[in-house]
Amino acid sequence: MLFGLFSKKDHLHYQSKGAKHLAAERFADARVDFLEALKLCPADATHDESAIRQGLELAGNRLGELNLQEGEHSLNAGELAKAYDHFTLAAELAVDHGIKSKAQAGLARVQQPGGAAAAGASPAPPAAAQPAGGYKEHGGGSCTSCGTHGHSAPAQEITETDLSLEDQFFLMVQPLPGDLPARYAALGPQFTKAYLLIHDGNDAQAFPILQEMLLSGENDIVFYELALIMFRAGRLHESEALLNRALSLNPTNAVCCMALVQLMAGGQRFPEAIAAVERMLELGILVDQAQFMLGELHELSGDEPRAIEMWSRALEIPSVAKSAAERLVPILDRQGRKDEVKYLAKKYLKGCC
């Protein structure tokens, strides 16, 4: 969990959103976010790509299961057009072969002579009178990104697809950099509980759990999560102190480094924030993001020439090159440097400028 004072929307942004939507059973929204994350994921980020594909597969399978349930419901009610649409969507969205097989079997039952009568249901009304569409989740998200329409599944059917706490936790920590997902997972069930409580906004319940964990030994991750609670409570000095304690234990904890920089930047302490990012570069911590952030910090501090220099260096890093070009183009355009703008647009932005 980063504090998020900067709003750069890269693949990790959408990957994290997808994980949160999965945990909230908003499977259609999760699928859309994971697809966007996959589109933005750099070619060399193989670990992230694997986690994104795993989330995408889980979202597709959950949607497949829900459409199977809706297909059976519609078939038993004699609504053949709806049943056909639900079974078709289940087959398209699911990755699991078992779900696909059940969907194909459902389609065969719909298409066989007698249709609903063969399934023991009353005869279907004319297909033209039946609105077609896929499963629509509570909250308004449909089971495909194109916004099909249909009726909501009964609540008891939705609960059958609930993610376990372990699954929620696993998906939510996967976007964390480096070895942090494994380290988070190794902290045990009490930490998992506290982490999920923080995600749900229940800081008051999470706080004593984390404090109790520190009684058995100091831990940089626990300090970081406590710092997040303090930050959200507006207790910024305590948050900063906790981050510094975390970094004294583990100077290479990437999320602590990022959070400290963002906390300083939020307080307009740009020289300190810049120095902290430069330390990240020296230690090889999130080098791509650090280089990009240097441009942001110099721009926020009013030093446009240094911002241009930092973002120009970021152009050499594939994972942030496009974002750096997007920030450089309007600045260079204002300065009348048309040739450079055209070059950046052609090379990094596919000529969109």
What the block records as the tokens of 14 is 């959408």
Give the pLDDT band of residue 238 (cuts 50, 70, 90): very high
Q: Where in the chain is the domain with CATH 1.25.40.10?
A: 166-348
Contact, 310 vs 287, CB < 8 A? no
Q: At what angle do helices 304-314 and 287-300 cross, to 10 degrees?
A: 160
Model pTM? 0.61
Smallest CA-to-CA distance from 242 within 253, 252, 230 is with 230
Predicted confidence (pLDDT) at residue 153 exceeds the cutoff of 80: no
**In the predicted model, what is the mean pLDDT of residues 312-339?**
92
**In the predicted model, what is the mean pLDDT of residues 43-48?**
75
Looking at domain 166-348, its CATH architecture is Alpha Horseshoe (1.25)
**In the predicted model, what is the mean pLDDT of residues 74-94?**
88
**In the predicted model, what is the mean pLDDT of residues 136-150?**
35
Give the pLDDT band of residue 132 (cuts 50, 70, 90): very low
**In the predicted model, what is the mean pLDDT of residues 232-254?**
94
Give the pLDDT band of residue 224 (cuts 50, 70, 90): very high
Among 127-131, 172-176, 264-268, the range with the most confident prediction by mean pLDDT is 264-268
Tally the C-alpha atoms within 13 A of residue 159's C-alpha that lie toward its C-beta: 3
